[in-house]
């Protein structure tokens, strides 16, 4: 995948997160740092609304990727960075946002909150990522 294709995919996925949030929950995501806090609530709202269906593999994959893309696009608008498709594990490739010396797996933190631990905060991860690059 070419870099410009990856960047377009992530921008389109972020737009999908905006549209899904508006259509499903009447919540507007505006690409601001403050809007990241809404992602924590939105991920749990999918479980409340769709119960076990929200945790099916396809749903989890889609939710984590669109909201991870949204978080990354907000980060890119604030401090830059570039998307990278990591294929180091051929059976489980993933996308990270590289900013300076750090890499952030925003889809991964969404997965943690959605599937493993509802106490994990997407917003706290985002805030730490910002702090790592603005000190």
Task: Provide the 10 A C-beta neighbour count for residue 18.
Answer: 18
Give residue 24's pLDDT band: very low, low, confident or very high (50, 70, 90): very high
> In angstroms, rounded to a whole number, what is the distance separating the alpha carbons of residues 44 and 52?
12
Q: pTM to 2 decimals?
A: 0.93
Quote the pLDDT of residue 134.
79
| Residue 80 φ/ψ region, left for φ over 0, alpha for ψ in the -120 to 50 degree band, beta for the rest | left
- Residue 117 above 70 pLDDT? yes
Q: What is the pLDDT of residues 70-105, one digit of tens each?
A: 999 999 999 999 999 988 888 888 899 999 999 999
For residue 21 the two structure tokens come to: 């949030």
- Residue 124 above 70 pLDDT? yes
Radius of gyration of the chain from Cα atoms? 14
Q: What is the pLDDT of residues 36-67, one digit of tens each?
A: 999 999 999 988 888 777 677 788 889 999 99
Quote the pLDDT of residue 54.
64
Q: Which residues contact 35 (CB under 8 A, 6 or more apart)?
A: 29, 74
> In angstroms, rounded to a whole number, what is the distance separating the alpha carbons of residues 110 and 39?
8
Task: Provide the 10 A C-beta neighbour count for residue 129.
Answer: 24
Average pLDDT of span 20-48: 95
Quote the pLDDT of residue 135.
66
Average pLDDT of span 17-38: 96
Q: Are 36 and 126 in contact (CB under 8 A)?
A: yes
């Amino acid at each position: 995948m070419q870099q410009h294709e990856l960047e377009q995919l992530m921008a389109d996925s972020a737009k999908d997160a905006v549209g899904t949030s508006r259509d499903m929950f009447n919540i507007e995501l505006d690409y601001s740092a403050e809007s990241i806090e809404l992602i924590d609530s939105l991920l749990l709202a999918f479980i409340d609304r769709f119960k076990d269906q929200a945790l099916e593999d396809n749903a989890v994959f889609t939710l984590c990727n669109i909201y991870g893309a949204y978080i990354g696009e907000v980060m890119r608008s604030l401090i830059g960075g570039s998307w990278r498709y990591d294929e180091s594990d051929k059976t489980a490739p993933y996308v990270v946002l590289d900013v300076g010396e750090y890499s952030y797996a925003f889809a991964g933190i969404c997965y943690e909150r959605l599937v493993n631990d509802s106490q994990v905060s997407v917003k706290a991860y985002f805030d730490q990522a910002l702090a790592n690059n603005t000190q």
